[in-house]
Amino acid sequence: MNQVRRTIILCDRPIDYDLKKNKRVKRMRFSVGPGGSLVVTIPYRFPEQLVERFMHEHAQWIITQIERFRQQGGRLSRYGRDHYLEHKEAARQLAHERLAHFNQFYDFDYGDISIRDQKTRWGSCSRAGNLNFNYKLAVVPEHIADYVIVHELCHCKEFNHSPRFWKLVEQTIPNHKEIRKQLRSF
């Protein structure tokens, strides 16, 4: 793994971050650690000029996350148990509210809603229609959380990723392809 310390100006503020290159990662990802330290991890062959462009596009979200961690005095780590417990209820409330909103358009039956600490998934839908969401939905931009929620809701009707499924998603999230690309970075 390769690591370099860098500084970028976001919203007229200098932000220090560690840029890490890792052979095992497939996509760029951001993490904010104790005290608000920002780490950007990228695959080895990832074009570095895209890192700063993406950071500028998501500047407000990055600054919000850094400030949140600084205010907490570094008590929470990005993926620690405390972070999960703190955001679990916020994610549950968000999921219930946004499901109620979007299901006005779909009128699908779904079962229980669970919030989990999942390493690689943002959400899932069981054959019984139970919806599971990652607690990190509480800390991503709202349009990304909405996409994940609608995606899983649409699996209640189409339990696959067929063109019919994507047409359902497109009814309420017309820019779902763009949002999916953004989601891969989180």
The domain boundary residue, chosen from 71, 106, 127: 71
Query: Does 92 lie in the same domain as 8?
Result: no
- 156 pLDDT band, cuts 50/70/90, is very high
Characterise 26 by phi-psi region: left (phi > 0), alpha (psi -120 to 50), beta (else). alpha
Two structure tokens written together for 99: 């499901």
Q: What are phi and psi of 7, to 5 degrees?
A: -130, 140
Residue 76 lies in a domain: no
Query: Does 32 lie in the same domain as 91?
Result: no
Q: Is the pLDDT of residue 76 over 50?
A: no
pLDDT of residue 35: 66
Query: Could you tell me the residue range of the domain that residue 119 belongs to?
Result: 81-183
Q: Where are the alpha helices (DSSP H) in the chain?
A: 48-57, 59-71, 81-106, 142-154, 163-172, 176-183
pLDDT of residue 138: 86
Number of domains in the chain: 2
CA distance 160 to 181: 19
Q: Mean of the pLDDT values across residues 118-130?
A: 92
User: Comparing 181 with 167, which gets the higher pLDDT?
Assistant: 167
- 133 pLDDT band, cuts 50/70/90, is very high
Three-class SS of residue 118? Answer: coil
Query: Does 179 lie in the same domain as 116?
Result: yes
Two structure tokens written together for 156: 């209640």
Query: Does 123 lie in the same domain as 95?
Result: yes
Query: Does 44 lie in the same domain as 97?
Result: no
Residue 55 lies in a domain: yes
Query: Does 52 lie in the same domain as 33?
Result: yes
Query: Does 89 lie in the same domain as 120?
Result: yes
| Residue whose pair of structure tokens reads 């780490």 in the numeric block | 39
Give the pLDDT confidence of 19-73 residue by residue, as tens digits.
998 888 788 888 876 667 888 888 888 888 889 998 998 888 888 888 877 765 5
Query: Does 103 lie in the same domain as 53?
Result: no
140: closest CA among 9, 2, 31?
Answer: 31
What is the spatial order of strands in the sheet that 2-10 belongs to?
2-10, 13-21, 38-42, 29-32
The domain boundary residue, chosen from 71, 98, 124: 71
Residue 176 lies in a domain: yes
Query: Does 143 lie in the same domain as 117?
Result: yes
The domain boundary residue, chosen from 41, 71, 101: 71
Q: What are phi and psi of 80, to 5 degrees?
A: -75, 165
Give the pLDDT confidence of 78-120 residue by residue, as tens digits.
445 566 777 888 889 999 999 999 999 999 999 999 999 887 8
Residue 149 contacts residue 123 (beta carbons within 8 Å):
yes
In the chain, the amino acid numbered 130 is N
- HSE-CB for 125 with a 13 A CA cutoff: 20
- CB-based contacts of 120: which residues, under 8 Å, 6+ apart? none
Query: Does 177 lie in the same domain as 102?
Result: yes
Domain at 172, CATH number: 3.30.2010.10
Query: Does 104 lie in the same domain as 31?
Result: no
Residue 140 lies in a domain: yes
pLDDT of residue 74: 45
Query: Does 175 lie in the same domain as 101?
Result: yes
